[in-house]
């Protein structure tokens, strides 16, 4: 039986690409065929040039083995808010609809290119990665439902086997939420661990690059390329591990829906059966419940400056949501903004210390399955605290929600424990995928 390259784990395929057992052009053709067959329905891609992809693949195939980079020929999709020197960057905005390629790459894109990756194309985002209104992209598991946002196309393309890896960004819940809705791994790095230069800015306090993959080993390839280093931590062992389940205040605020409630209890049961010591835990300080309102204040405060240039350039083509931020129609005062900045800064080291009391901490990714319809990309309130706390986190897929749609849970740690999150996520994620109950029909 021949290998289906669209479904092969890329950490295995990468070895074959590097030693010449597999040609980059062959791999690219397999993915482009999948895209041609599926994307007219999924609409994951904002820009892709098949002939250009094949030309780049042939160039990579000509590189001598000894000069091939760590990601030689590995296909990666780029969220269309990152500058790319060979593809247009349009931010899903009418203001930039007709623009051509930039003269430079965003720093995180330049790292991928220098590592030998095959940049396959640009994936759909909500407008400026800031609005909650869906674009053309749908959930590949059920096209009547949203894939989430703002990294809609990146999550959908990975879930639909159109690409093995994709770049996303998270300011509120734009990596973790779509990963949960589409049933893939979505990893948000520690804030500041990966450069944001050349990415559309919303909040300098929260904007963070992240990635999508169908397994953790593939994410580890990227962690190595971006040189993510941890504060030293021990190797995760599930047997006897102390695992905290943190509902947070959002459980009642959102509130938690039926699919989340079922996944939550099943996750606790599974980890207990595998030898972990599971316990429900609470926030270590009452002020953590203020993170929701503080996140809103910071989004409004920093959104005013982030979108002011677009407002001056072409207000008529800016969505009302962003106009409201520039004009401060939400009436966020400077005192509100400063309280949010200073309050969240105080909580970060408290969270870092608290998280070390547990071998792993699990928290919800989303309130429920992906909402029906494309008008709304879903509730990010479970994700917002981790964006504001600058904590690394990963959506762990595997659970089946209503209508057969996937739902995941988040593994989170203290700052600069990115590799620990991946190592722990691999062990726990394997259990959730095998025993959580979700079976993809894709």
Rounded Cα distance, 94 and 14, in Å: 38
| Lookup: tokens for 282 | 């609470």
Is 381 noted as a catalytic residue in this protein? no
3-state secondary structure of 268: helix
Whether 174 is catalytic is: yes
Annotated catalytic residue within 18, 79, 188, 426: 79
Which is the catalytic residue, given 115, 125, 154, 174? 174
233 as an active site residue: the answer is no
Cα 397 to Cα 403: distance, rounded to the nearest angstrom? 16
- Burial class of residue 274, CB neighbours in 10 A (0-12, 13-18, 19+): middle
Do residues 153 and 95 lie in contact, with contact meaning Cβ atoms separated by under 8 Å?
A: no
Taking each helix axis from N to C end, the angle separating 50-61 and 24-42, rounded to the nearest 10 degrees, works out to 160
Contacts (Cβ under 8 Å, ≥6 apart) of 112: 71, 76, 78, 119, 167, 225
**How do strand 360-364 and strand 277-281 relate by DSSP bridges?**
unpaired
Q: With both helix axes pointing from N to C terminus, report the angle between 418-435 and 258-273 in degrees, rounded to the nearest 10.
A: 100
C-alpha distance from residue 43 to each of 37, 47, 68, 84, 337 (Å) = 11, 10, 32, 20, 37
Measure the CA–CA gap between 188 and 178, rounded to whole angstroms.
12
Active-site choice (93, 115, 125, 150): 150
Catalytic residues: 79, 150, 174
């Amino acid at each position: 039986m021949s290998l289906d390259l669209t479904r092969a784990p890329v950490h295995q395929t990468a070895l074959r690409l590097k030693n010449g057992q597999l040609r980059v052009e062959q791999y690219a053709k397999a993915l482009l065929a999948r895209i041609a067959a599926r994307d007219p329905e999924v609409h994951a891609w904002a820009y892709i040039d098949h002939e250009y992809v094949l030309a780049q693949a042939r160039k990579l195939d000509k590189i001598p083995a000894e000069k091939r980079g760590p990601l030689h020929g590995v296909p990666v999709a780029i969220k269309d808010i990152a500058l790319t020197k060979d593809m247009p960057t349009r931010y899903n905005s009418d203001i930039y609809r007709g623009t051509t390629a930039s003269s430079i790459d965003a720093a995180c894109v330049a790292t991928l290119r220098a590592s030998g990756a095959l940049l396959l194309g640009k994936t759909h985002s909500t407008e400026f990665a800031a609005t909650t209104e869906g674009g053309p992209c749908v959930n590949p598991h059920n096209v009547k439902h949203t894939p989430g946002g703002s990294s809609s196309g990146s999550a959908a393309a990975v879930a639909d086997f159109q690409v093995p890896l994709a770049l996303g960004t998270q300011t509120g819940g734009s990596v973790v939420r779509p990963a949960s809705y589409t049933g893939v791994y979505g990893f948000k790095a520690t804030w500041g661990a990966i450069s944001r230069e050349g990415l559309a800015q919303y909040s300098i306090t929260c904007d963070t690059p992240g990635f999508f993959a169908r397994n953790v080993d593939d994410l580890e390839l990227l962690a190595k390329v971006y040189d993510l280093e941890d504060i030293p931590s021990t190797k995760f062992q599930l047997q006897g591990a102390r695992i905290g389940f943190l509902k947070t205040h959002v459980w009642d605020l959102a509130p938690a829906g039926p699919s989340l409630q079922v996944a939550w209890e099943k996750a606790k049961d599974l980890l207990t059966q595998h030898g972990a010591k599971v316990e429900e835990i609470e926030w270590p300080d009452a002020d953590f419940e203020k993170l929701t309102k503080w996140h809103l204040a910071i989004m409004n405060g920093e959104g005013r400056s982030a979108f002011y240039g677009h407002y001056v350039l072409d207000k008529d083509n800016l969505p009302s949501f962003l106009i409201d931020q520039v004009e401060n129609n939400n009436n966020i005062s400077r005192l509100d903004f400063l309280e949010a900045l200073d309050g969240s800064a105080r909580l970060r080291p408290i969270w870092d210390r608290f998280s070390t009391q547990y071998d792993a901490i699990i928290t919800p990714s989303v309130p429920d399955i992906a909402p029906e319809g494309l008008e709304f990309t879903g509730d990010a309130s479970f994700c917002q605290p981790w964006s504001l706390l600058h904590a690394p986190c990963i959506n762990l897929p595997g659970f089946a929600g209503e209508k057969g749609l996937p739902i995941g849970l988040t593994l989170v740690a203290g700052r600069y424990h990115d590799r620990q999150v991946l190592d722990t996520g691999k062990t726990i994620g394997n259990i959730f995928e095998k025993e959580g109950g979700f079976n993809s029909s894709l």
